[in-house]
Structure 1
Amino acid sequence: MTQEATYLPIALRLDDARALVVGGGQVAGNKLRLLLERCPDITVCGVLSDPEILQAVETGRIRHDTRPLDLTLIRTLLPDMRLVFAATEDEDFNREVAAEARKAGVNICVVDDPAPSTFITPAIIDRTPVQIAISTNGAAPVLARRLRTQIEALLPDGLSRLARFMQAQRGWIRQAQPDTQIRRRAWENFVDGIGAECALRGEDEAARASLEATLKGVPREGEVWLVGAGPGDPDLLTLAALRLMQNADTVLYDQLVPAAIMDRVRRDAERVFVGKKRSNHSLPQDGINEELIRRAKAGQRVLRLKGGDPFIFGRGGEEMEALVDAGITVRVIPGITAASGCGAAAGIPLTHRDCAQSCVFVTGHARADGTLNLDWPSLAKKGQTLAIYMGLAPMADLCAQLQAHGLPPDWPAAVIEHGTRHDQRVHVATLATLPALILERRVASPALTLVGEVVTHRRSIHHQET
């Protein structure tokens, strides 16, 4: 099996460099277009037929080496080049050029042939000085171009003006405020506020006034953000959650937050795992509260990232109380709770006009003595749906108690394992058969249990049917 190539996205400086384009047709012209506004010294070699290349040569923007195109010429030109595009119609010759470039230690891109190349060109959104590159490592160029179109539609027209304005202010801001953390917060507040809107429109004086006011008004005290990360699928994060994930100095996260969501956190933010598994807490709740308070008092913006919603069986209420009592500023960002996310992903409605006029959220987390302290008569009713969080371990007791208090053994139930994620599994059973089924299939947390006739209305959507 051939090893998959890996690439590191970088921005390569070309204003002090020379570049070589081998070939003179349309494909070479496409690559020349990438270089013209970025590299001051471009040489093209080969027979020219592309109109853009011909025009660039006639106007003196690029140099055409008219010597015969062969490997001798390539070897002569390579030592002065920072990068080379091999773009002739001869695939074998392109690969020979690549081999020579590799020997010379020069970056080489063979057009439409990533195997011999040392770099590939991504799909680019150009709002100079802002440039956004989208790459699929050469696996799906059409997908990269489609993503470029979608992202480009989200970007404001004045993005270039905003970036140049911010660049022009960096010098005086550095002198006015030597604290790096405070400067970063001021910039983030500026970008999120009216000042950035002024700069986008080219109203630099108003933007400067807003930036000065923002710099003076940056809070030096820390704060804590209690943020719901949703049920597991990163696409279900809220816009507010994503923005705070990019602004936090420190992230305290738990067991229910998957790596795919942590990948959305700012790369240089400190990450502190405070996860909790059954009977295995890396940090007790009092310790988490103390850590949040300590970091906020040290001036940090602390993101407390929780699976689901922070106020639904997430102990967010306890954390909020401790923080407010300590005088810490708190923001709460709700997330999609597991019942909503898992039910939707599994094709099981939480309510249904025909059979469920209410939905009750219940925690299956047992007390210290192992017992479940629940109002069983109110739970063991028809005409409603039970959404049971953390119910795997006490499943046998849960099902037995519901039957003992009035629900029949054949009452529908389902467990959604790893709900909304790519490895989701849905296990449909009854109260009588569910405990044995989850043991047989080795169902693992996180998992949500739904009990009620809504389970019979389930329709398979796109996840694994079990």
Structure 2
Amino acid sequence: MRVFLASIPLEAAKIVIIGGGEPALAKLRLFLNSPAQLLWFAPDGAPEAIETPLGAPTPLLRAPDLDDLAGARLVFIALGDLDQVQRLAGLARTAAAQVNVVDQPHLSDFQTPALIDRDEVVVGVATGGSAPILARDVRTAIENVLPAGLANVARLARELRDTVKASVPDFMARRRFWEKAFRGPAADLAAAGRTAEARREMLRLLNVAAPELGVVHIVGAGPGDPELLTLKALRVLQDADVIIHDRLVPEAVLERARRDAKRLYVGKSRGDHSVPQDQIEALMIAEARAGHRVVRLKGGDPFVFGRGGEELEAMRAAGVPVFVVPGVTAALACAASAGIPLTHRDHAQAVTFVTAQAKPGGVDADWTRLAAPNHTLAIYMGVDRAEETANRLIAAGRADSTPVAVVENGSRPDERVLTGRLDGLGALVRGANLAGPALLFVGETAAFSAAQLDQQAEAAA
């Protein structure tokens, strides 16, 4: 975060605007409907009456002095004379005010964000002064989805805030109440201006507010690109009280979660289980029984080599309400990002997701079936056994010239795609110094990867 948007109360705040041109008028309009004390100085001349905003204070046709600026909270300067600008900015800072020089971010203490003004609700979009037109366009996109009556909802909430706090002392129960109030009929009624009906509905909800049972959502975080989160996963993340996440969930995805949610890291890698699986399940149960909304956030899809099935069983056995939110699994995301079709009418009539890490003492893979031609293999957790896997497939009848691809950090900015032949898969992986999660693809369609096509084009040239 390069800039921080602070919420400044405007009741009785002294705001000073300096300038008579359109840039000054734009700042003036921001505060005309606010409770701020507004002073306007126009040393460069006042605009025509027809141009002056309705309700604006009478402009003083001089520059302010230190006494004029005493007690000012914010000072906006929109003048063309740079020497005068710097002198007035120095005076304002001497008076302990924050200064904004219009279109001069290097001379300013703050920049004005693009604002969506719904009276009680104000939304700001800021770029640190680097791209105000972009901020304006983002503001327009947001404004189009916000109901015009949003201020009515916030105003009613402010009026009932103390009543709710006194009636529902439990913090979690109070949060649930407000969520129901803001997402149900009460908010719709308030937004439509039907305030009395909205108040009755909120009071009805208040009479039944009580601590709720906890719940667990087992959520697929996808391969790492936050834009590949499902809408449901995003909604659940933003409602979570506790997020229990693994090693494959990047910070970019966690940033989409509610900021004040408690985060618990239980990451595991081969040979290093920081928190054993039974303890993870016990933690999920304990947090849910404490009345929390728990999100067990897992890379990819929780039901594709993610042990989500075990966690689902544990929650059911404990009597904890549990729901599963699927995610984009690594095979789909990595293949799409690398340009590898998992099936193809001419080259692959089947695809199999398989793990190279069988459960200790478990049944080994059926290599004869997996070695069938015109069949794409997406191999999870296969880096450490790449050479062994290739040898078993070749021994079971797969051609040693079968194309292969290794996709590291699929869908992320640092994605790498390596290509080769099945008989060289072990050497390909050893020479790659893989540091991130990687998926192996074996089959005719691996030749369609963008990296492979680039190599072929270079060779032809």
Q: Same fold (TM over 0.5)?
A: yes
Secondary structure at the aligned position of 2:105 is classed as: coil
- The answer as to whether partners of 1:24 and 1:53 remain within 8 angstroms in 2 is no
Alignment match, 2:5? 9
Gaps of at least 5 residues in structure 1 are none
One-letter identity of the residue aligned with 2:226: P
TM value normalised by structure 2: 0.91
Partner of residue 401, structure 2? 410
Aligned counterparts of 2:38 and 2:378: Cα–Cα separation in 1: 65
* Residue 21 (str. 1) matches residue 17 (str. 2): yes
C-alpha spacing 1:393/1:214, structure 2 compared with 1 (3 Å)? farther
Q: Could you tell me how far 1:334 is from its partner in structure 2? A: 1.0
Equivalence for 2:60: 65
Selected match of 1:270 from 241, 255, 262 = 262
Does the CA-based 8 Å contact 1:351-1:454 persist in structure 2? yes
Q: Distance in 1 between matches of 2:322 and 2:426?
A: 41
1:111/1:290 CA distance change after superposition, 3 Å: same
Q: Please report how far the alpha carbon of residue 316 of structure 1 lies from its aligned counterpart in structure 2 after TM superposition.
A: 0.9
Instruction: State the one-letter code of the partner of 1:442.
Output: N
2:152 equivalent among 161, 164, 189: 161
Q: Using a 3 Å threshold, how does the CA distance of structure 1 residues 302 and 24 change in structure 2: closer, same or farther? A: same
Output the CA distance in 1 between the equivalents of 2:2 and 2:69: 25
1:12-36 CA distances to partner (integer Å, 9 max, x unpaired)?
Answer: 1122111111111011111111122
Aligned CA-pair RMSD = 2.6
2 CA distance for matches of 1:384 and 1:431? 14
Give the letter aligned to residue 30 of structure 2. L
1:288-437 equivalent positions in 2, closer than 5 A: 288-368=280-360, 373-437=364-428
Contact 1:186 1:214 in 2 (8 A): yes
Q: 1:50 to 1:432 in 2, by over 3 A?
A: farther
CA distance in 1, matches of 2:212, 2:433: 50
Q: CA deviation at 1:228?
A: 0.9
How far does the alpha carbon of each residue in 1:53-92 deviate from its partner, in whole angstroms, 9 at most, with x for none? 9635xx764242233x3xxx44332222111011112234
TM-superposition CA deviations, 1:296-348 (whole Å, max 9, x none): 11111111111111111111111111011101001111111111112112221
Matches of 2:161 and 2:121 in 1, distance apart?
Answer: 16
The structure-2 alpha-carbon separation of the partners of 1:248 and 1:63, relative to structure 1 and needing over 3 Å to count, comes to same
Aligned pairs for 1:242-281 (under 5 A) are: 242-281=234-273
Q: 2: distance between equivalents of 1:404 and 1:31?
A: 76
Q: Please give the residue correspondences for 1:43-58 in structure 2 after superposition, counting only pairs within 5 Å.
A: 43-45=39-41, 46-51=43-48, 55-56=52-53
Render the CA deviation track for 1:118-155: whole Å, top value 9, x for unaligned: 11011111222111111112222222122112222222
Corresponding residue for residue 111 of structure 2 = 120
Cα deviation 1:265-320 (Å, max 9, x = unaligned): 11111111001111111100000011111111111111111111111111111111
**2:419 and 2:451 in contact (8 A); partners too:** no
Identity %: 43
Equivalent in the alignment of 1:175: 166
- CA distance 1:350–1:154, change in 2 (3 Å): farther
Matched, 1:99 2:90: yes
**Are residues 1:444 and 2:435 paired?**
yes
**2:144 alignment partner AA:** A
> By how many angstroms is 1:372 displaced?
8.5
Give yes or no for the alignment of 1:453 onto 2:448: no
Within 2, Cα distance between the matches of 1:261 and 1:111?
Answer: 36
Q: What is the aligned residue count?
A: 454
> What is the one-letter code of the residue matched to 2:287?
R
**Structure 2 CA distance for aligned equivalents of residues 52 and 241 of structure 1:** 54
Looking at structure 2, the residues matched to 296 and 391 of structure 1 have their Cα atoms a distance apart, in angstroms, of 35
User: Distance between the aligned counterparts of 1:138 and 1:55, measured in 2?
Assistant: 26
Distance 1:448 1:134, change over 3 A: same
Determine the C-alpha separation between the residues in 1 that align with 2:47 and 2:424: 72
* Separation in structure 2 between the aligned mates of residue 302 and residue 53 of structure 1, nearest angstrom: 59
Report how far residue 451 of structure 1 moved.
Answer: 1.5
Runs of 4+ in 1 over 6 A off after TM superposition: none
In structure 2, the CA distance between the partners of 1:360 and 1:103, relative to structure 1 (3 Å rule), is same
Contact 1:248–1:302, Cα closer than 8 Å, also in 2 = yes
Q: 1:75 aligns with which of 61, 66, 70?
A: 66
Cα deviation, residue 181, structure 1? 0.8
**Shift in Å, 1:209:** 4.8
CA contact (8 A) 1:18 1:39 kept: no
Partner of 1:31: 27
C-alpha change, 1:214 and 1:311, in structure 2 (3 Å) is farther
1:211-244 deviation line (CA, Å, top 9, x unaligned): 4454426562211111111111111111211121
Which secondary structure does the structure 2 equivalent of 1:224 belong to? strand
> Secondary structure of 2:423's match?
coil
Indicate how the Cα distance of structure 1 residues 116 and 55 shifts in structure 2: closer, same or farther if over 3 A, else same.
Answer: closer
What secondary structure, in the 3-state scheme, does the structure 2 residue paired with 1:432 have? helix
Determine whether 1:129 maps to 2:120: yes
Greater shift, 220-229 or 38-47, is seen at: 38-47
Give unmatched runs, 5+ long, in structure 2.
none
Q: Measure, in 1, the Cα distance between the counterparts of 2:194 and 2:305.
A: 48
Partner SS state of residue 124, structure 1: strand
Q: Is the 8 A contact 2:174 2:209 kept in 1?
A: no
1:179-218 equivalences under 5 Å are 179-215=170-206, 216=208
